[in-house]
Structure 1
Amino acid sequence: MRKSGLLLTLLTTTVLTSGCYYYPAGTPCPAIAQASVVSVTVPVSYVPHVGTLRLKACQDGTCKEDAVELRPGSVSVDQGCRPDGACSATASPDGTLVGMLFLDALTEAPMTVTATGTSADGQALPVRMLEFRPRGASPYGAQCGRFVTASVVLDAGGLREGQA
């Protein structure tokens, strides 16, 4: 009887364990919260002209305006992969300035962004305005929801939609 019980236990464990490989429970979603922001990038060529920056974003009848803290931007530099498959990268300053205006909500509805500020010598920057539609995507699959991004670039030519 003991041999039969051991054999039954072994067979049941084998069937249940192998079943996990053939019937996945679904793809898990990453635990990433999305910040409702409008990001702004000032390219290297325009950095010397910007001292302070304010953004105003209006969407769905609601506006939010605030000073934007500009920080040095960076790019990712590939560090390669090790034989065990672990890969890495590092951030390297690229001379740009980046900042964010935090919003209460962000949707894919049309948005108007206005940029004002002062130059490095204290003179008023030209008022720049852009109307665009934030982008929505499902980078982790439809089951994980949509991520909406709004990104602008401020340069000598004005305000334009950026790559988020």
Structure 2
Amino acid sequence: MTTVYDFTARAIDGADISLDRFRGQALLIVNTASRCGFTGQYSGLEDLHSRFADQPFEVLGFPCNQFGAQEPGSADEIETFCTTHFGASFPLFDKVEVNGPNRHPLYAWLTEQKKGFLGSRTIKWNFTKFLTDREGRVVGRFAPQVTPGSLEAEIARLL
């Protein structure tokens, strides 16, 4: 059975990271963008990261430029923006595509595990969130409008 831990992604610094390094942790995986109406959610993501810092939980941010070209910057620009404006200290990855023929394999799997509205596999916008349990199974998919803070109780139950 495939789990989130079976995937690899390129970190914002260019290093390939096996998600197996997060084995045993619940994960909140989010496609992000720096010029989006939901960009302020970076603060909420950082709050969750800090609140559960001593728990088996991690936030993973995957910048994506597929929605309104709202993530046009380079990896360095994205990282600088996130750390300077929001103090983001959770792991950030290099830009990925979450839809279409070049969809990152992680997102192909995530969207198969938890479909969206009317059974769609398509990610509709920035800041769509996937929650995995500590065994690496997807247990929730949340629309961009769902704030990170509103997921706190659900995350706590997984820990």
TM exceeding 0.5:
no
Instruction: Write 1 or 2 for the structure with the bigger share of strand.
Output: 1
* TM-score band, normalised by shorter chain: under 0.3
TM-score, normalization: structure 2?
0.23
TM-score, length basis structure 1: 0.23
Select the structure with the greater relative contact order (CA < 8 A; seq sep ≥ 6).
2
Structure showing greater radius of gyration is 1
